[in-house]
Amino acid sequence: MPPTESGSVTSAPAGRKLEVYDPLGLYQPADRSRQPLRARWNPTETDNGRPRSPQRDAKKQSALGRFVSRYGWRAYALPVLLAVTVFVVVDAMRTRPAPPAADPGFGALSPGTAEAGIIGAPPGDGKFPADLPLGALPDGGEFAERGAGTWHVVPGTGPQVGAGTERVFRYTVEVEDGVDTTPFGGDAAVATMIETTLANPKSWTNDPKFGFQRIDTGEPDFRLSLTSRDSTRAACGFEIPIDSSCYNAGIDRVVLSEVRWVRGALAFDGDIGSYRQYLINHEVGHAIGYHSHQPCESDGGLAPIMMQQTFGTRNNDIAALDPHGVVPADGKTCRFNPWPYPRG
C-alpha cells in the first residue's frame, strides 16, 4: 500500500512490516530505550518487576501553613493592614483636638450705666517708661494729631437690631471736625462699619436684653465718635504714650481713637478689620454697663471682649502696666478676639 502524507503511518495487513513515508529520513522506528524515563522514589530499590507505589512521608501542614496556602498573598497583607489600622486609630486619638473652650466672659453687668466719669481709661497712673513696647503702634497710614474738638453727625439711620427686652440704646455716628476719613473710605464707611458690627449676631444683640438703633437727629444714649489723637487723650483722661480709646459717660461719648482706627494693634497681627470690630464692641460694652476690664481667662483661648487687647493679650504684660489692677500676672496668653459672642 503506498504511503500517504509525510511522516504518517499506513496500515498494513497482518504479517507485513509497517511502512512509513519519510522522504527526509527524520522518522525513527519506535524504540523503548528512547521512551521517557520515570524517576524512582527510592533510587537504590531494585526493580523486581512489581509495580512501584511510592510512599512518601509528607509533613502534616500547620494551621498557619494551611492559612497561607489557602489565602496566598492576602495572608501576608492582612497582618500589615491590621497594624496600619491600629496605628492610625492610636494616632487619631492622640492628636484629636481638645473640646472647644467655653466662651469668654464679660464680668459683671452694672445695674445702670454710669452717669459721669471715664469708663475704660488706660490702666495705671499714666506714667509709663518712654521705651515701653506694650501697646506700641504698628506701622501704617497717616492719622490726625489734632482735630477741632467738635464733632459732626454722619447722616443715616437704621432699624432696631436685637430684641431689647430690657434696654434699647439709640446712638449716633460722629466724626471729629478736622479728621480726614477719605483714606479709609470716608464718613459713610466709618458709619457702615459701626452699624454692621453692632447688628452682627456675635455682638451684644446676642443677648436679648440689648437692642440698638442708629439715629441722626434727637438725643442719643451715646455717641460713637471717631476722634483725633489729642482730643482722645483729653477725653480719656491721660496724656500717655499709649494710644487708646474709652467711654466718657460725662459727655455720653464713646471715644474711638482715630490713631487706632488707622493703625490697629500689634496683638491683631495686621488684621485691621477685626481690630475695628473689637474697638467698637469693647467701648460699647463699657457704654451698656460692662465697666470692668477682664483678664485672659483660658490660656490659649479667645480673649474676652472686655480685655484690653489694644495693650496685648498676655496677662503678664497688662499686669505690668497696672500691678494692682484686675489682671493677674499668671502667665496666661489669649488669642485676639473682636466679639462678645465669638461662637454666636
Using pLDDT thresholds of 50, 70 and 90, give the confidence band for residue 14: low
The three cell numbers of residue 285 are 460694652
Query: What pLDDT is recorded for position 62?
Result: 74
Using pLDDT thresholds of 50, 70 and 90, give the confidence band for residue 19: low
Cα–Cα distances in Å, from 44 out to 39, 40, 41, 88? 12, 9, 9, 60
Backbone angles phi, psi at 269, to 5 degrees: 50, 40
Residue 216 is assigned to a structural domain of this protein:
yes
* Cβ proximity of 297 and 330 under 8 Å: no
Assess whether pLDDT exceeds 80 at residue 109. Answer: yes
Assess whether pLDDT exceeds 90 at residue 161. Answer: yes
pLDDT in tens, 276-316: 999 999 999 999 999 999 999 999 999 999 999 999 999 99
pLDDT in tens, 60-86: 667 766 766 776 666 566 666 677 666
Compute, in degrees rounded to 10, the torsion defined by CA atoms 172, 176, 177, 180. Answer: -110
What is the value of pTM for the model shown? Answer: 0.70
In this structure, the number of other CB atoms found within 10 A of the CB of residue 342 comes to 15
Query: What pLDDT is recorded for position 98?
Result: 47
pLDDT in tens, 172-224: 999 999 999 999 999 999 999 999 999 999 999 999 999 999 999 999 999 99
Pairing of strands 167-176, 151-153: antiparallel
Residue 340 is assigned to a structural domain of this protein:
no
Assess whether pLDDT exceeds 80 at residue 128. Answer: no
* Cβ proximity of 296 and 303 under 8 Å: yes
Query: What pLDDT is recorded for position 134?
Result: 62
Assess whether pLDDT exceeds 80 at residue 116. Answer: no
Query: What pLDDT is recorded for position 138?
Result: 93
Residue 113 is assigned to a structural domain of this protein:
no
What CATH number should be reported for the domain holding residue 278? 3.40.390
Q: What is the mean pLDDT of residues 213-238?
A: 94
Query: What pLDDT is recorded for position 82?
Result: 72
- Domain total in the chain: 1
Residue 125 is assigned to a structural domain of this protein:
no
Full domain range(s) for residue 281:
135-291
Query: What pLDDT is recorded for position 296?
Result: 97
Q: What is the mean pLDDT of residues 337-342?
A: 97
Residue 285 is assigned to a structural domain of this protein:
yes
Residue 195 is assigned to a structural domain of this protein:
yes
Using pLDDT thresholds of 50, 70 and 90, give the confidence band for residue 29: low
Cα–Cα distances in Å, from 134 out to 27, 87, 121, 141, 196? 109, 46, 16, 20, 30
Residue 158 is assigned to a structural domain of this protein:
yes
Assess whether pLDDT exceeds 70 at residue 258. Answer: yes
Distance CA 265, CA 271 (A): 9
Residue 235 is assigned to a structural domain of this protein:
yes
Query: What pLDDT is recorded for position 22?
Result: 54
